[in-house]
Structure formats: structure tokens, C-alpha cells
Amino acid sequence: MRDRHVIIAALVVFVGLLTFPIWYARAAGTTARGPEPKLPATEKTCVMPVEYMRASHMALLLTWRDDVVRRQDRAYVSPDGKAYTKSLTGTCLRCHANKAEFCDRCHTYAGVTPYCWDCHVAPASLKGSGT
Amino acid sequence: MSVSRRAFLGTAGLSALGLTSKTALDAFALQPPHEPAPAPAGTRWAMVIDSKKCLEAGDCTKCLDACHRTHNVPAIANRAHEVKWIWKEPFEHAFPSLQTDYPPDALRDKPVMVLCNHCDNPPCVRVCPTQATWKRSDGIVMMDWHRCIGCRYCVAGCPYGSRSFNWSDPRPSIAQITPDFPTRSKGVVEKCTFCEERLAKGEPPACVAACQAKALVFGNLNDPESDVRSLLRSHFTIRRKPELGTRPAIYYIV
């Protein structure tokens, strides 16, 4: 057992390497918890049920886009009978006014970069950034 | 009689060419000539620009400012990169087919307001490979900036220079961004849309609403009682480059 020190040292290094992802995540401050987008305080209902919006808001936005730009169809009636205007900045952002706390939280978590904001203007993002 | 291998191959080749070329020629001959679409039947938006009234207002830029502010049009100093929706063009440039060596002083080098003509037979729409630009049923030549791939065929196709390409991100060149309207991004073509987003709300185009001299008159060309039709009845009007057959919807009183 003259190699005991070497073996123990090697075991420590091995366990350290094995658990490296845990230490790394701890150091970087990332957690396994999902994103927590901040919902608007004023409104309780969206244009579609929350489950649909969570999974398929992008499909809805693309449909709205084509309806408005290509079909001149700007009126929308939600399943619960409320009338809306199909507009990203006019309708969605009216309630979800803070892009950083709503859109960006999930998009950053999911690692997606939608190009909506290359052209469409988020009111909150106007302040200070100059864009 | 003997035929050499060389002569036989030559004759066979020429015969094959003769047989196939007929089909190819027929295919080209059958290409139907381009028939312009008929003018819209319902509402047909059009504009009459009274250049006399416009010139009386002097250096007024109210319509330009209103348009550019409403639509986040960037102000780019470099003329090769500038973006134009509505702008002033010297009379000789706006109406090159009306050139005379002795134009009246009232028109010589005088600015004329020019914008997209929203043609009945728009060349830009014909050449767009992605249908990012198309002719609406109310006559507006509309653009879908989402779908534009920036090929610039339409820029080449438009005989009026009404289309501008974004060579760089336009946002730094916009003094005050209007959040209600999107900006464009690098690599996208843009032009006047006759303020279709305002028309949808029942408002006239921004330039028309801003013109205090009432030099810009907007209305339905298919309605005999409309302002544009009554102006067209009472005045002699011209259109830009009518010889090209694009049938513009912008009429000028000069």
C-alpha cells in the first residue's frame, strides 16, 4: 500500500472531474429551474388560453402577421368573445409592456433569438438604448 | 456510294439539331405576351398632386416630414444609400418624356413631389421572386417586409426610382422612432405603401393630412364623385412616364 497517497489523490481528481458540471453551474449561477416570465398585472386573460400561448404564440403571431399584411384582416375575436386588433406592438405589447421581463426571459432560456425586434419596436427597449 | 464516318456523324448531328430546335422555337413562340391586369373594380386609391399649389408653398416639407416620422424612414446623408418614400425631384427628372429645350420658368428645375405611383401594371410586382410585393385589390402596391429577401429586382424594375434598399441597419439614422410602426432591417427594400395602415383606420395618408396647401388630394378613382375624379375632370393632368404602360395612379397638375 505504498501507493495510497497517489490513489487517493487520483480519486479526488476523478470525483472532481465527474462532478465538474455541478460546480460549474453553481459558479455560473445557472439553475435547472425554468424561466419565470413576469405576467402583466392589469390583465388576466390573453387572446388565447395560456397553455396555447405558451406553446404556440409564435404560430399565432405569424398568422396575425400574414392576416394583417397580406389579407388586410385586422380584427380578431378570442375564444372568450373579446375583440382585439391583430397587432404586436398595439395589442400584445400593450399588456406585456416589458419585453425584457416577459419575452426575453423565456427566449434567453430556450436559446432562441426571434428577429421580431429587428424591425418592430418594443416601447421599453427604446429608453436609453437609442434603438 | 460510300459515306465517310465523319460525314455521317455530321449529318446525323445536324438532323438531330433540326428536329429538336423546332420544339424549342415553338416553346419560345408560345410564351404568351404579358397582359397587364385590369384596373381594380371596387375602390381604386389614387392621388392628384397640384404642383402649382405645392410650389406656391415654397420650401415646405410638411408632407415629407409627416411621412418620414410616421413610417420611421431613415435620413441617410449618403445619396447611394438613402431611403426615399416621398421626395422632391426636379421637373425635368420627374417627367423626362416631356422634355423640351425651353421649359417655362414656372417649371424649370422646380421640385415636384414624387412617390410610389402604385401602378395598375407594376413592373416591380412582376419581377419580385418571392411575392414580397403585390398588387392589392384596391390598387395599392403593397410590400411584405417579412418576406423580402433583398434581391433588389424590384429596385431595378421600378422606372420611377420609388424603391430603396437598406444597405445598413436604418435605426441609427432615424432621429425619433415612432413605436407604432416598425422600422426596416438591413437587406430589405422599402417604399411608400399609400399609408395602408392609416387607410385601414379610415384616415387619409400622412402626407395628405399634413399638406396645408391641399396640394395632395387622395381618393377613390372609381368613384365619380370623389375629390380626385373632380380634379381630373376640371384640370389637365399628366402622369410620370406614361409611355412605359405602367399606368400610374399619381396624377399631376402642372
What pLDDT digit, counting tens, does each position of B4-13 carry? Answer: 999 999 999 9
Q: How far, in whole angstroms, is CA B122 from its chain's centroid?
A: 7
Contact present, B52 and B253 (Cβ < 8 Å): yes
Residue A50 and residue A28 in one domain:
no
What pLDDT digit, counting tens, does each position of B126-167 carry? Answer: 999 999 999 999 999 999 999 999 999 999 999 999 999 999
Domain positions in chain B:
45-253
Residue A104 and residue A58 in one domain:
yes
Contact present, A74 and A129 (Cβ < 8 Å): no
Number of domains in chain A: 2
CA-based nearest residue in chain A for residue B186: A118
Residue A17 and residue A70 in one domain:
no
In Å, how far is A13's CA from the nearest CA of chain B?
51
Is the CA virtual torsion A88, A92, A96, A101 positive or negative?
negative
Residue A63 and residue A82 in one domain:
yes
Residue A43 and residue A103 in one domain:
yes
Residue A58 and residue A106 in one domain:
yes
Name which of A64, A69, A89, A96 to mutate to probe chain B: the one with the most chain B Cβ atoms within 10 A of its Cβ: A69
What crossing angle do the helices spanning A20-28 and A4-18 adopt, rounded to 10°? 50
Residue A59 and residue A91 in one domain:
yes
CB contact under 8 A, B183 and A115: no
Residue A109 and residue A74 in one domain:
yes
Q: Is the pLDDT of residue B225 over 70?
A: yes
Residue A65 and residue A11 in one domain:
no
Residue A58 and residue A90 in one domain:
yes
Q: How far, in whole angstroms, is CA A81 from its chain's centroid?
A: 27
Say what the pLDDT of residue B36 is. Answer: 66
CB contact under 8 A, B200 and A72: yes
Whether A27 is covered by a domain: the verdict is yes
Model pTM?
0.80
- The C-alpha cell at B147 is 418576406
Whether A102 is covered by a domain: the verdict is yes
What is the Cα–Cα distance from A67 to A83, expressed in whole angstroms? 15
Whether A93 is covered by a domain: the verdict is yes
CB contact under 8 A, A119 and B183: yes
What pLDDT digit, counting tens, does each position of A9-47 carry? Answer: 999 999 999 999 888 888 887 777 788 888 888 888 899
Residue A58 and residue A115 in one domain:
yes
Cα angle: B209, vertex B94, B223; to 5 degrees: 45
What is the Cα–Cα distance from B58 to A126, expressed in whole angstroms? 35
- Domain span at A14: 1-32
What is the Cα–Cα distance from B152 to B149, expressed in whole angstroms? 8
User: Domain B45-253 adopts which CATH fold?
Assistant: Alpha-Beta Plaits (3.30.70)
Whether A131 is covered by a domain: the verdict is no
Contact residues, chain B, for A69 at CB < 8 Å: 142, 144, 146
Residue A56 and residue A106 in one domain:
yes
CA-based nearest residue in chain A for residue B73: A119
Contact residues, chain B, for A123 at CB < 8 Å: 179
- The C-alpha cell at B174 is 432615424
Q: Which residues 86-125 in chain B show a CB within 8 A of chain A?
A: none
Contact present, A25 and A31 (Cβ < 8 Å): yes
